[in-house]
Amino acid sequence: MIRPATPEDVPAIVDLIRGLAEYEKALQEVRTTPEQLRESLFGPEPAVFCHVAQDPDGEIAGFAIWYVTYSTWLGRHGIHLEDLFVRPAARGKGYGRLLLTELARLCVERGYGRLEWQVLDWNTPAAEFYVSLGALPQQEWIPYRITGEALEALAAR
């Protein structure tokens, strides 16, 4: 079953975030606490959303964290998928496809023009999975990020 996350799901989602970070060889970079995630998802003005895949036993098998974007070229909103992760033991059961299907359904229902995300260049299994769904890799855009001391320095200018 795919459904919007609830506050009761936060501990499982944090555990999945850590599982994703471990898979991406970046566990040491995770700073998210259950309190932060609860506030982000369920605070007074959430700007990020989460859907979970729940297995028949009621366990959270996977999640998709996303937020609304806007395309000036399309003149429409879209969804950016920040993270998608399914527990290794639950892979191959269709949870990833179901999570993406739900986000695509939301896009269509709301009149959004895009569902987009990023994939690490070494994550061939994920890239192949996404292509099998009809997604196309975008080659012409290079992501940039500013964080930490550089972010603080820019803000102080």
Catalytic residues: 130
Strands 60-71 and 76-86 come out as: antiparallel
Write the single-letter amino acid at 52: V
State the Cα–Cα distance between residues 126 and 44, nearest whole angstrom.
34
Give the strands of the sheet with 76-86, arranged side by side: 2-4, 49-54, 60-71, 76-86, 114-117
State the Cα–Cα distance between residues 148 and 125, nearest whole angstrom.
31
